Amino acid sequence: MGHEQRNLPIGIQSFEKIIENNNLYIDKTEFIYRMVHTSVPYFLSRPRRFGKSLLLSTMKAYWEGKKELFKGLKIEELEKDNKEAWQEYPVFYLDFNRDNYNGTEVLEGILDDHLIDWESKYKVIPTEKQTLAVRFKRVIRAAAEQSGKRCVVLVDEYDKPLLETMENIDLVEHNKEVFKGFFSCLKSEDAYIQFIFITGVTKFSKVSIFSDLNQLEDISFDDDYSGICGITEEELTGMLEPEIKRMAEKLSLSNEECIGRLRKTYDGYHFSADGVALYNPYSLLTALKKRRFGSFWYETGTPTFLVHRLKQIEFDVRQFENKTLQSTEALLSDYRVENPDPVPLLYQTGYLTIADYSEDDVYTLCLPNEEVRYAFLQSLMPEYVDECGTGSGKDILTLKRHVENGNLEGINRVFKSLFSSITYTTNEPVFEHYFQTVIYITMTLLGKYAACEMHTNTGRIDCIVETKKFIYIFEFKRDDSADGALKQIDDMRYADPWLADERKLFKIGVNFDSETRQLQDWKVETQK
């Protein structure tokens, strides 16, 4: 093989550690340079595991004047004629990343821990009756007076205490009030503050940080900052070529084929109207390190809350594929617990991304890549079908095996089991929605292993699946007949594109009876 393996900084959120351990660092310091030379408070929303903590850690090192860590990076060059650069400022770094917030007083405990450290550092003695906000105000003033420099406030994942307590409305409201008190001093102590940067997954409305900081600049949708987190194609090919080569060799692919698969699996994030396309950094680096294509980002947390919500409101997940899902910047950037629309949270948590933008400020959304598509639909399936896990006989790997082997009896069995296990509801329109959703999810997941083309219209779904040896044309109907389904395949001439193909072609008509809720009728014709 002969390629020396470099250290990829997977899960390392400390800039100092990355540089000192000689890990690979994707240089984002030009963005930092741009911001630190204004005194505007900034807010950035990005999905989890997208590099926000590393960005803040890099800012911290900059404001602490640790010039030696930035050797050879863009900001060193940009600051070379600036006499004021690399001075040490007092930094207040608030990290909400680390704890479980499902308990009363947890948030207050974390703020108290931070304050105890700072009070000890700046020799401030609190009195018993002082609120968290008053204590914060006093350490800010003490730090500014003792250092002769204004303070820097960096807040990482501010919304974790809110997102984690979503299903406990009282606790969310309590935590909002705690924040309101604590951060109120950022406005009143403005004279003592040099720079503020706040990150989170969501921008909850009615959280005082946002209403109190009247100049707060939200850069989450700005083209100029779209590449601040994540990895661009240019950064991938320019900085990670040895890793691509190692992965390609292991999987017997050319470099181009390997990049093509990485792109389909992990690329596709857009955070602004004309922003650069981005790879999920956690997934991309993990894939390159392990030299295999897996659902790495998704494994770090399944969105159970979101999945329940989508089923509850009968959300049509087919909109993910056909790009009919639209929203505006105002709706996407604002999340309220009481808001029944799951789209803002799906966007902010990274399950949806911007596909297109029209002049009237409307964003079209889609699933960013295959990693997210397949893993998300996989976690949605158990909401609609009981006990459909691996080995159940109605799981996707069983279906894949039958489809690859041309086992029509086996395929029939899987669909029978799937339909008889659809979550029961007496509501007819809801059941129709479940029926359509189960077919859609099943066939899309099958597309992970076979070429699968879906066409869905109200009341009917047709799907073409191709494997090495076989072609299947399915037509699914409800309260009709399998003969009617086959007739439709012929009338619409679905098989025409494969007339000269040497593979065996099956036309499969499926009819489902909504009264008995069973697959009632199944017929197969082989292409002459």
pLDDT tens per residue across span 159-179:
888 888 877 888 988 988 898
Query: Which residues share a beta bridge with 509?
Result: 475, 523
Helix axis angle, 255-266 to 241-250, nearest 10°: 100
Residue 2, pLDDT score = 43
Average pLDDT over residues 509-520: 85
Question: Across the strands, what pairs with 231?
Answer: 279
Region 84-113: mean pLDDT is 90
**Is the domain of 217 the same as that of 240?**
no
Please tell me the pTM assigned to this model.
0.87
Q: How many CA atoms lie within 13 A of 245 on its CB side?
A: 11
pLDDT band at 206 (very low <50, low <70, confident <90, very high): low
Among 164, 198, 225, identify where a domain stops.
Answer: 225
Helix and strand numbers (H, E) in the chain are 22, 15
Mean pLDDT over residues 91-99, rounded?
A: 89
Residues 47 and 100 occupy one common structural domain? yes
Q: Return the structure tokens found at 133.
A: 């906000």
- 275 domain residue, yes or no: yes
| Per-residue pLDDT reduced to its tens digit, 319-343 | 877 777 889 888 887 766 667 788 8
pLDDT number for residue 1: 40
Other Cβ atoms within 10 Å of 125 Cβ, number? 8
Least confident of 115-119, 433-437, 522-526: 433-437
Check pLDDT > 70 for residue 448: yes
Which one, of 274, 198, 196, lies nearest residue 38 by Cα? Answer: 196
Which of these three, 337, 370, 403, is where a domain ends? Answer: 370
Give the residue numbers spanning the domain of 341. 302-370
d(CA 475, CA 525): 12
Q: Is residue 15 part of a domain?
A: no
Residues 154 and 94 in one domain: yes
pLDDT at 53 over 80: yes
517-520 long-range contacts, CB within 8 A, separation 24+: 517/419, 517/420, 517/422, 517/424, 517/431, 518/416, 518/419, 518/420, 519/412, 519/415, 519/416, 519/419, 519/420
Query: Which long-range contacts link 414-418 to residues 24+ away (Cβ below 8 Å)?
Result: 415/510, 415/519, 415/522, 416/518, 416/519, 417/392, 417/393, 418/385, 418/388, 418/394, 418/442
pLDDT at 324: 78
pLDDT of residue 526: 92
Confidence of residue 430 (pLDDT cuts 50, 70, 90): confident
And the tokens for 142? 């003490």
Please give the average per-residue pLDDT across 420-448, as a whole number. 80
For residue 192, give the 3-state DSSP assignment. Answer: helix
What is the per-residue pLDDT across 121-151, written as a single tens digit (0 to 9) for each?
999 998 888 999 999 999 999 999 999 999 9
- Token reading at 203: 């921008």
Q: What is the dihedral of CA 501, 505, 511, 512, to 10 degrees?
A: -100
- Give the integer Cα–Cα distance in Å for 352 and 290: 26
Mean pLDDT for all residues in the chain = 88
Alpha-carbon distance 229 to 206, whole Å?
26
Identify whether residues 394 and 443 lie together within a single domain: yes
User: pLDDT tens for residues 455-485?
Assistant: 766 556 788 999 999 999 999 888 899 999 9
**Whether residues 148 and 77 fall in one domain:** yes
Give the tens place of pLDDT for each residue, 358-394.
878 899 999 999 999 988 888 888 888 877 666 666 6
Same domain, 208 and 115: yes
* 301 compared with 232, residue with greater pLDDT: 232
Based on the domain organization, do 364 and 401 belong to the same domain? Answer: no
Q: What mean pLDDT do residues 20-30 have? A: 94
For residue 182, CA distances in Å to 161, 209, 446 come to: 14, 9, 50
Side-chain-side CA neighbours of 427 within 13 Å: the count stands at 6
Q: Are 280 and 338 contained in the same domain?
A: no
* Start-to-end Cα distance in the chain: 50
The count of structural domains within the chain is 4
What was the pLDDT predicted at 245? 96
What pLDDT, on a 0 to 100 scale, did the predictor assign at position 270? Answer: 96
* Domain identity same for 354 and 410: no
pLDDT at residue 70, rounded to an integer: 97
Question: Rounded to an integer, what distance in angstroms lies between the CA atom of residue 112 and that of residue 91?
Answer: 17
Residues 354, 497 share a domain: no
**Overall residue count recorded for the chain in this entry:** 528
pLDDT digits (tens, 9 = 90+) for 215-227: 789 999 999 999 9
Within-domain flag for 378: no
Q: Identify the band that residue 94 occupies on the pLDDT scale cut at 50, 70 and 90.
A: very high
% of the chain at pLDDT higher than 70: 92
Last residue of a domain, one of 173, 208, 225: 225
Yes or no: say if 440 and 456 are a contact pair by the CB < 8 Å rule: yes
The string of pLDDT tens digits covering residues 282-317 is 999 999 999 999 988 876 555 677 777 787 787 888
pLDDT at residue 41 is higher than 60: yes
Q: At 49, is the pLDDT very low, low, confident or very high (cuts 50, 70, 90)? A: confident
Residues 112 and 178 in one domain: yes
Q: Exposure of 24 by Cβ count < 10 A (0-12 exposed, 13-18 middle, 19+ buried)?
A: middle
In a domain, 124, yes or no: yes
